[in-house]
Structure 1
Amino acid sequence: MSHNCENEHFEHNHNHEHGHEHTPPMETSSVQSLFQYIDTAKIRCLNAESVNIPSGIAMYKVFLKPQSEKDDCERYLQSDTDCQMILHIPFVGTCKIHSILLRTNGDDDSEGELSSPKNIKLIKNYRGNLDFETIENFKDHHTVESPQTDMPVSDIVEHHLPKNNSWYCDSLYLIFFEDNWSSDEDELCRLYYLEIRGEFLGISKSREQVPLMTVYESAPNPVDHIKLESEQTHINMGL
């Protein structure tokens, strides 16, 4: 485990294909943000709701914020029925991903029913039907461990991807908040800020041929994800 600085950079990555990464992480900077290359109109989310979003503002802006607003924690994305949450973020072309920066919630008793996210799966170029059961059992992924904090809001934490793995994303990029530090699946998680850093390599010719499939339950069942996955309705976070 090593710590660098964004507000805080945290490195505790588990690569399920190539083992642990032992070489020092690549230094990144804010100029490598891929913010402008995200296809915001096609962002999707499962088991999540936006909080404190002004009327008329696109819903994805609760967590995809310009760097000038990265410390704004008044608006955020929160998991809906339990601690799990999936973000589906497409790019307008091919990108090479270096790292992902996240600001999440901590274990603050005053907030109630919240726990710090723990394991977060990162999946590139996923083209299957999007549901929790499939994602939980999906083998081709990279997992990062988010640090636990007793503060209401965590620092911004940078999770570096392994240098020995080619993280080229030509269409789809998934982020799966899998569990939390309390091991209580009924406790919710929040995402205040997300930034992806890397290189934009150009427009992918095949990108528009890939269908985008998601599911979302408009009236969540707090018991489990079974009803969530069976409703098969959509949420478009870009409109």
Structure 2
Amino acid sequence: MVFDIVTRSVKVPLMAARNNLKLKSAPRSPNNPGEMPAKRGRGRPAGDHAAKRAELVRVAIAVVAQEGFSGASLRKVAQRAGCTTGAVTYYFENKEAMVLAIVEGLWDEWDSYLAATEDDLKSGFERFLNWAKADESDPWLAGFQLIAHARLDPAFAAIYQRRYAHYRKTLARRLAKEQRRGKIRSDIPADLLADQLCAMADGWMIMFPIEPERFEAERMKALLDAMIVLVSPRGDKL
């Protein structure tokens, strides 16, 4: 016991001395040699915060698409991203926060598609269906998984309701504009047409993973052409 006390009494000054030497030899700021560089917070990853978060969201989408909602985890996202689980939890406190970020990100992407095709209804839906392509299918399949989960989670479902309502209103405004121009049939209110078109697209999205042969390129074009005929006055194409 006396030996332990003596050993500890020697170790403490030695550790202090080593720490003091480390502090003295620490690198200085390149802009001001007399200034110590700022320390990063514990566990805080270096680099652009927004870019890293967006990268992790993309990885999380792929994990949900391939593993399903129940199979997705922060650990699997970290493994696929090549980082630690701690780095992922810096951006997303838990799985729920990560999944909410995925949902918002998917809707942001779809809103950008809608904005990019403001005067072309057919192109907007074509871009929507292009999510189903083999090399771009992760967002489509992840969305399919998350919609199924929303049925069991009221808070989660509320996000879908809010974002979907915004999309339908935007689409209805666009259809109403085209009705005034005589490009869209006016015998059905624009909000009902918007709801019908959304239901049609939802059905395509749900069935694509189950019946991909229904959505080959040629048939997808035929489906879009048929949709345009359905909403055009007297069957005229836009």
Using structure 1 for the length normalisation, give the TM-score: 0.22
- As a proportion of its length, which structure holds more helix? 2
Q: Which has the larger radius of gyration?
A: 2
Higher-strand-fraction structure: 1
